[in-house]
Structure 1
């Protein structure tokens, strides 16, 4: 696992200047180099996240107390930029089968967040989707 973390960190550090070069120039070759780097990151992360779900999460579920799980969730929320909340929440909801979203929201989101999602955050997420995927968001489930 730690080797995978190091590998992902190395790939991300290599991708950062490629991203800057592409942003600065919008050059086709720069885009191809960045796309190749992102494909590699996606492949490595896919393996790593699968390993975490199969090997780490079951052990953590047995060993962590509720307080430790709560602290882990709080750390994740504090680490994520607040202006990215609509995107994070939208991606989480989109990763669930449509029939399970409302029940999951009621069980995991406080009422004020559900209300904010309904009146404001969902619109921001939808605008982000349209900007990033003009042809339509690819299915996550």
Structure 2
């Protein structure tokens, strides 16, 4: 059943912000791994922890779409959804397979700093699958979400992500996502939060990511990979 047209519909601009985070961190990963000297387990642990967190973010992001977005679009979008939702499912499966391969190789490299070339190549395959998927989702899927998903339903995906994210990473992941975010979009995401949260979260999140990026990437301002929202 289609939503009541009197309800506000999804503002999908925050998805571009989430996608920019994934594009950046996964695109930078192969070189991060290649730059770790064989046997340098201290550096491998720093990069490996970051890699594990990023792979978790990717999995949780797609889990939310699988559970809360694709079914609604399939139910409401008719031929428009039939033309793209199966592609989204197939791409998610391919990305999960690549993510699983990375996750299989990561612990051994993280512990020994050996086998970096194989792990970097696995991340490159994950990157290629993800880039194709994000571009397709942005050009073909998000316009349908604006038509068929309400603002309240869209918000459920963000709530799902917060529920499944380990609390120790919440501030950091918030800062990671905001790094390439439009200030107006960030303001909208926080609009319903208490005033103190709206004031504090952007500051704490940005500081957390700046410190983390300096440790992982060697700079508080790593290369940006965002695609501007329409």
Asked if 1:22 is matched to 2:103, the reply is: no
Q: What is the CA–CA distance in structure 2 between the aligned matches of 1:58 and 1:121, rounded to whole Å?
A: 29
Which TM-score applies when normalising by structure 1? 0.82
Equivalent position of 2:129 in the other structure: 44
Asked if 1:116 is matched to 2:200, the reply is: yes
Q: What is the CA–CA distance in structure 2 between the aligned matches of 1:3 and 1:119, rounded to whole Å?
A: 38
Asked if 1:33 is matched to 2:118, the reply is: yes
Equivalent position of 2:140 in the other structure: 55
Q: 1:30-88 CA deviation, whole Å, 9 max, x = no partner? A: 11111111111011101111111112111111001222112222222222222222222
Which TM-score applies when normalising by structure 2? 0.53
Q: What is the CA–CA distance in structure 1 between the aligned matches of 2:113 and 2:94, rounded to whole Å?
A: 27
Q: Does the CA-based 8 Å contact 2:213-2:220 persist in structure 1?
A: yes
Asked if 1:6 is matched to 2:93, the reply is: yes
Unaligned runs of 5+ in 1: none
Aligned length: 135
Asked if 1:131 is matched to 2:215, the reply is: yes
SS at match of 1:95: coil
Q: What is the CA–CA distance in structure 1 between the aligned matches of 2:92 and 2:185, rounded to whole Å?
A: 30
Q: What is the CA–CA distance in structure 1 between the aligned matches of 2:113 and 2:120, rounded to whole Å?
A: 13
Deviation at 1:115, TM superposition (A): 2.9
Q: Does the CA-based 8 Å contact 2:175-2:202 persist in structure 1?
A: no
Equivalent position of 2:173 in the other structure: 88
SS at match of 2:110: helix
Query: Residue 119 and residue 45 in structure 1: after superposition, are their counterparts in 2 closer, same or farther (change >3 A)?
Result: closer
Q: What is the CA–CA distance in structure 2 between the aligned matches of 1:16 and 1:108, rounded to whole Å?
A: 31
SS at match of 1:54: helix
What's the Cα RMSD here? 2.0
Higher relative contact order (CA 8 A, sep 6+): 2
